[in-house]
Amino acid sequence: MKNIALIGFMGAGKSTVAAAFQEKFGRTAIEMDEEIARREGKSIPDIFKEKGEDYFRELETAFLRELSGREGLVISCGGGVPLRPENVALLRKGGVVVWLAARPETILERTKGSDDRPLLRGKKDIGSISQLMDARREKYEAAADIRVWTDGKTGEEICREILGALDEAI
């Protein structure tokens, strides 16, 4: 069974959808940011602060290399994973890449109460979020096999939409 790699901007619903796949459909969910934080013994903001974004991006790539030989996973990728072509190649090698997309207003609503997203510190407004999303859009589009909009949908609804799109592709 192929892996399903969930990519998209922070707050697009990757963690929620991965958890729904595990709970409702029995797929093993891997939360990249959580696992990297656990392995490093510190939060993502602390990793960024102490060692920098480049170090964190190297950790992501190394973790994807580890996962590339496994099957049947739903991988919730950090928002910056598709920025590196090597990461996209690793995700595609093992399965299908699904871009979870959402409007900037949805992203703001979902992230406004959280301080664990270093790239949004001091930038929690529609303009800043839109600007960062625009900067990443081309990479997400290039990496994705499927795009699913998550605005106003539950995790289970999104899972069913992804599974439907996969069935149509076969």
Q: Where is the binding site for ATP, in residues? A: 11-16, 117
Residue ranges for the known binding site for substrate are 33, 57, 79, 136
146 half-sphere exposure, CB direction, 13 A CA radius:
22
> Do residues 142 and 83 make contact, with C-beta atoms less than 8 angstroms apart?
no
Helix axes 126-143, 104-111, angle to 10 degrees: 110
**Residues within the annotated binding site for Mg(2+)?**
15
Q: Determine the Cα–Cα distance for residues 124 and 161; give it in Å rounded to an integer.
A: 29
Least Cα distance to 156 among 13, 37, 44, 38 occurs for: 13
DSSP 99: E
Rounded Cα distance between 70 and 59, Å, is 18
Annotated binding-site members = 11-16, 33, 57, 79, 117, 136
